[in-house]
Amino acid sequence: MNRKSSFAPVVDQRCRILILGSLPGEASLRATQYYAHPQNRFWELVGSAIGIELRSLAYEIRIDTLRDHKIGLWDVIADAKREGSLDSAIREPRNNDLQSLGSSLPDLQAIAFNGKKAAMTGRKQLEPAGRRYRLIDLPSSSPAYAAMPIAEKLSHWAVIGSIAGNPETAQK
């Protein structure tokens, strides 16, 4: 079983909210793009939160749009062994240095975890460091998490818009 690695963080000094996933799935790794699986709802959820239809845009424009809205992306796991894409299949994980990244972002107000695995892993690293920023658990955007209807996911993800500076979309 080969080790699979996360991508570099997508951030700049304007970042107010950092969204952390667990580890890219197979489709994302093949495409070398965050949330590349066509059934993953990430781009729909974050797009709704900021009031922009992201899925139809080219990947580079999506990333630039997130940066323009003060949103960053990364993963809690740097690399791990895993067959397939499920978080439950992650073995021997090594974590990314979330504290160092958070410390390097002067405007960071919140870190949001995309799914339970990201929250469980990320909170272990960040909670002992104190409360410089708010920690938010979001329902997973993964197609594997179908227990929650999309309308309910959208209501949880709306917080992204208010933190990023888009309060008009946070009430949708």
In this predicted model, what pLDDT tens digit does every residue of 86-100 receive, in sequence order? Answer: 888 899 999 999 999
Number of compact structural domains in the chain:
1
* For residue 171, pLDDT beyond 60: no
For residues 122 and 111, what is the distance between their CA atoms, to the nearest angstrom? Answer: 9
Q: What is the pLDDT of residue 103?
A: 93
Nearest to 108 by CA among 139, 74, 61: 74
Q: What is the pLDDT of residue 172?
A: 36
Residues 141, 155, 13, 26, Cα dihedral to 10°: 0
Read off the pTM.
0.93
Render pLDDT for 44-88 as a digit per residue (tens, 0 to 9): 999 999 999 999 999 999 999 999 999 999 999 999 999 888 888
Residue 35 lies in domain: 3-170
CATH number assigned to the domain comprising residue 91: 3.40.470.10
DSSP secondary structure of 97-148: -HHHHHHT-TT--EEEEESHHHHHHHHHHHGGG--SSEEEEE---STT--SS
Whether residue 2 lies in the annotated active site: no
Q: What is the pLDDT of residue 13?
A: 96
Pairing of strands 134-138, 91-95: unpaired
DSSP state of 53: -
Catalytic residue among 2, 40, 96, 166: 40
